[in-house]
């Protein structure tokens, strides 16, 4: 077994001889069992990685598997060949065997890893028993009452798509004036939407009987001009956004919350007909 521990996440790493332990308290957490080998600074040596519930253990191993080597014969001049003692060089890429799973996505690795789909040996899959299926998109009025349910899975150019666009354009909206972080006075038009997902896809749709639906009510924001600290730059400012509404929030309370979070000063309602 190698005595050199393998770096994983930097500041979260803890080294114990050939073992590396890391714990991720936030962000992406995967389940993984991967035996890998590589060459160079990015993928040194052979190792076994085990990950679950935010914990990762990497064990440095002897060369059970070796990196993949591709031999190239460039057109070097005679002096270079004489200096190196050969007319070829090897290009190395890591090999990995195992799987990773996280956020409903399964990735299986069975050989060379090149980040090139034409040569890489892996495949990915979203298992239907881990997915949420989208079932509803609804619009709400100024007082938070239901205005309309949009047609489900309306294809572009279909009558259902045209009806969906008509309902979106006729949905009641509110308009507010505000000052951006730099004092520029702008307006925003807001609309309340709600989306719903049920658990399980295709033959596993019955799993939704055992899990609560996932419902998100949001406030759609459409600004009269660019906002934010990037406006006027090559990156551009924000002209549209959306926020999740807390229970009981409507147009004004939701946008006031957005202003407080983004350095804006709320002014008040605007009559869009004037």
Which residue did the predictor score with more confidence, 43 or 35?
A: 35
pLDDT digits (tens, 9 = 90+) for 56-65: 999 998 888 8
Mean pLDDT of all residues in 75-94: 90
pLDDT reported for residue 41: 53
What is the phi-psi region of residue 237: left when phi exceeds 0, alpha when psi lies from -120 to 50, beta otherwise? beta
pLDDT digits (tens, 9 = 90+) for 112-158: 888 888 888 999 999 999 999 999 999 999 999 999 999 988 888 89
Residue 163 confidence (pLDDT) above 70? yes
Mean pLDDT of all residues in 17-36: 86
pLDDT digits (tens, 9 = 90+) for 193-235: 999 999 999 999 999 999 999 999 999 999 999 999 888 888 8
Structure token digits, residue 49:
């990685």
pLDDT reported for residue 3: 55
pLDDT reported for residue 249: 93
Does the pTM surpass 0.75? The reply is no
- Edge-to-edge strand list for the sheet holding 95-102: 13-16, 19-23, 55-61, 46-52, 31-37, 95-102, 105-112, 122-125
Helix (H) or strand (E) holding 83: helix 78-84
In the structure, what pLDDT confidence band is assigned to residue 32 with cuts at 50, 70 and 90? very high
Structure token digits, residue 5:
């521990």
Q: How are beta strands 122-125 and 185-199 bridged, if at all?
A: unpaired
Q: Where are the domains of the chain?
A: 13-126, 132-269
Lowest-confidence pick of 115-119, 140-144, 176-180, 246-250: 115-119
């Amino acid at each position: 077994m190698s005595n050199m521990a393998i770096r994983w996440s930097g500041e979260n790493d803890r080294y114990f001889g050939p073992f590396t332990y890391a714990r991720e308290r936030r962000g992406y957490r995967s389940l993984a069992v991967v035996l890998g080998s590589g060459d160079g600074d990015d993928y040194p040596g052979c190792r076994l990685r085990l990950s679950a519930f935010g914990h990762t253990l990497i064990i440095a191993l002897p060369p059970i598997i070796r990196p993949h080597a591709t031999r190239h014969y460039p057109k070097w001049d005679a002096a270079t060949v004489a200096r190196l003692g050969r007319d070829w060089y090897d290009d190395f890429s890591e090999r990995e065997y195992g799987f990773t799973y996280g956020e409903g996505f399964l990735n299986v690795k069975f050989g060379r890893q090149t980040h090139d789909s034409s040569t890489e040996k892996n495949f990915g899959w979203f298992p239907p028993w881990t997915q949420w299926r989208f079932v509803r998109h609804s619009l709400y009025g100024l007082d938070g009452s239901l205005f309309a349910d949009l047609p489900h899975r309306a294809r572009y150019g279909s009558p259902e798509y045209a009806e969906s666009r008509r309902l979106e354009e006729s949905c009641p909206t509110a308009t507010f004036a505000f000052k951006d972080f730099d004092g520029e006075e702008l307006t925003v038009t807001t609309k309340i939407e709600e989306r719903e997902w049920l658990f399980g896809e295709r033959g596993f749709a019955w799993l939704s009987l055992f899990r609560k639906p996932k419902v998100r009510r949001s406030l759609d924001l459409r600004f009269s001009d660019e906002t934010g600290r990037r406006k006027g730059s090559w990156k551009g400012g924000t002209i549209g956004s959306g926020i999740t509404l807390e229970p009981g929030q409507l147009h004004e309370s939701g946008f006031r919350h957005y202003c407080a979070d983004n350095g804006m000063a709320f002014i008040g309602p605007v009559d869009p007909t004037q």
